[in-house]
Structure 1
């Protein structure tokens, strides 16, 4: 099992290319199930989750071809992958596949819309909360599906096809919004979705679906209107930049000091997180090619944040920001409102010398003047990279184990950081 070793103390200077967004790529890949034509996706990151979803889609009969394979010396150039679901050979998504990645549950929407039936295992994924699928089920039922739970599987059927309707999400859900958009694209009549997620990844999926012939309006607002069509065609679509990767590297620069340009991304993707970084003492500016992040002198100031659906502070950057706050010159508070178990990285940060106390969903971080290297263990995708950020300034060596979590969502992180001066290496077992 691979590990990553970091020797802290170096500032970061240079350029880091930002990959295509994992959280956009996965629903875009799943959208290929909606058509028997070819969907071509550009700027696809090379991640464990992408490879796993390719296997899952293959189980349903999706063929794929890759062009522009990533060269090891060029970690910034994305791949182009062509997905063709000419014939759906199986409408069952089995437990052994779905249990490895929660987002694979989303195939239920396209399968139900196109094939009028689906049998999908209840999902797995990171152990950061229960994340029930009731919102998915209720939404699809509103479109006329009959759904039962049978031996750990969600069994759905829509004889004669799905039918448009109005549905109000009781709470915002990115995944359920993705699924409802895809399902409603092939439903008969108009669907109106209220309290929809507003994330940039939602907008990206809507753009792709519209390029395929869907009629979706309101993406990026709380109200989506979808006029169903009889069939969708193929399309070519470029995946938007990864805002979580952008925020992660911005926080790494704020932690270590230095001057780094994050290429191929935009400040518009995560203004709340960049605003918090500015308050903490980093300088952020938009450039013609991306985002420049600087912290040359001056301490890290404590900043209180509350995670919230977009455009609020992203829960996927909570662990990284907590790592930054461990070196602040005061006391900061982080309130997690999205997932109930997303503080598992606290104990690992404490092994590096961080002072963090928990009370319910609030973490209180008392900044310290020094962190020291130690063996630590990743507990989920975002927690793993928070340990890397802390290790970049810890005295001595930090060894991060179970980095397969990191490989699910960060492409060649050690190469990108190493190119900017970090002393970091992957150790293969």
Structure 2
């Protein structure tokens, strides 16, 4: 595992550009195997999850090439095969191969997916949808076996809870099913709309993405005729907005869709952060005398659970106690004891995260328990005096495109080292 070394205390300034959305990309790559032609994506983030998904593709004889943000995938010679369990366990989004393989071959066998450990994230809604479409699902010793020997038949599926993963997996399975599938109480995240745009451009017939009812009329074939540009990553954007407000002095963040960030930027404005919001960029000016706020995470368009941790370091600058309630993943608190090591006045109480004003933060050795926890430690390391070493930094690299290069362009002093302490240069 790699470590991130940060020399803190610098004020940052300059401009950066947000990459394609991780949460779109990890669904679009499995979706590509539904096509009967090669497919192309651009603005693909250079993150570990992309490379692990490419390993999974290779195991199915699906070739792929990735360079300078452009990813080409050729599924025309795809074969059914056992998927590599190490790559499957490296990221939870590998479960999208369940829906994609079911849609393509009417069967799928996968090791139970891994990824961030942020509390229970059951796949019961995925299984319910697959069974409603006519599949049989069996679990045996951590392996999920899904089969639909008589094919998939469209039906109406009501999601008991709003689930991005289950909504995406249902779309992937239903897009080539017979008849019409209706998903009620569907998730509304922009990444779902991005996925359905990609599929529709290949000939799918999907309506209602971005609302809580999605209708899918199954088609026999999907053929790509153009390059799909992935939407900007709203979580990466929110992370840099928090960073810019905490340690920045006039930072401009480009390639943003402001509408995707309204729940986040409204909280920054409530705190007193000085933002200039443009059509596709946001300038963050130096802000002082910040006010404490209350945050409750909710499904889109509410405040994203993925942004509660990256915002935490900024909350420690407010004059008073801020309160976070995570209604999505109540156990998303791995960052709390690590931030306490750095001198932050943060604690948990009755399911709440309480962030008090912190006069001084100091560098030390901490561990990135998952992607967004790592982002909060990274921002705090930039704020703190001295040197911060973040172990298990692979978790940060899983979710943030060319993170070291982008930070150092803003005048940060950040590097990645291997277990022996040798510097690792980003590709």
**Equivalent-residue separation in structure 2 for 1:372 and 1:12 (angstroms):** 18
Asked if structure 2 preserves the Cα contact closer than 8 Å seen for 1:120 and 1:155, the reply is yes
**Equivalent-residue separation in structure 2 for 1:99 and 1:380 (angstroms):** 14
**Equivalent-residue separation in structure 1 for 2:37 and 2:372 (angstroms):** 35
Equivalent in the alignment of 2:31: 31
Which residue, out of 67, 83, 87, partners 2:73?
A: 83
What displacement does 1:289 show? Answer: 4.7
What displacement does 1:115 show? Answer: 0.7
Structure 1 window deviating more from structure 2 (1-10 vs 255-264): it is 1-10
Which residue, out of 210, 222, 227, partners 1:220?
A: 210
**Equivalent-residue separation in structure 2 for 1:64 and 1:94 (angstroms):** 16
What displacement does 1:198 show? Answer: 0.6
What displacement does 1:286 show? Answer: 2.6
Equivalent in the alignment of 2:55: 55
What secondary structure is seen at the aligned counterpart in 2 of 1:270?
helix
Structure 1 residues 288 and 138, CA, compared in 2 at 3 Å: closer, same or farther? closer
Equivalent in the alignment of 1:73: none
Equivalent in the alignment of 2:323: 333
Which residue, out of 275, 286, 295, partners 2:286?
A: 295
What displacement does 1:3 show? Answer: 2.1
**Equivalent-residue separation in structure 1 for 2:103 and 2:322 (angstroms):** 47
**Equivalent-residue separation in structure 1 for 2:136 and 2:229 (angstroms):** 35
Structure 1 window deviating more from structure 2 (80-89 vs 382-391): it is 80-89
> Is there any run of 5+ residues in structure 1 with no aligned partner, and where?
71-78
Alignment of 1:3-402 (within 5 A): 3-66=3-66, 69-70=67-68, 79-235=69-225, 236-296=227-287, 298-402=288-392
What secondary structure is seen at the aligned counterpart in 2 of 1:44?
coil
What displacement does 1:427 show? Answer: 3.2
What displacement does 1:360 show? Answer: 3.6
What secondary structure is seen at the aligned counterpart in 2 of 1:364?
strand
> Is there any run of 5+ residues in structure 2 with no aligned partner, and where?
422-427
What displacement does 1:407 show? Answer: 0.6
What secondary structure is seen at the aligned counterpart in 1 of 2:5?
strand
What displacement does 1:288 show? Answer: 4.8
**Equivalent-residue separation in structure 2 for 1:41 and 1:203 (angstroms):** 16
**Equivalent-residue separation in structure 2 for 1:300 and 1:134 (angstroms):** 42
Asked if structure 1 preserves the Cα contact closer than 8 Å seen for 2:36 and 2:221, the reply is no
Asked if structure 2 preserves the Cα contact closer than 8 Å seen for 1:92 and 1:118, the reply is no
**Equivalent-residue separation in structure 1 for 2:384 and 2:105 (angstroms):** 54
**Equivalent-residue separation in structure 1 for 2:306 and 2:333 (angstroms):** 12
Scaled by the length of structure 2, the TM-score of the pair is 0.95
Structure 1 consecutive aligned stretches of length 4 or more whose deviation exceeds 6 Å: none
**Equivalent-residue separation in structure 1 for 2:255 and 2:6 (angstroms):** 26
**Equivalent-residue separation in structure 2 for 1:353 and 1:190 (angstroms):** 56
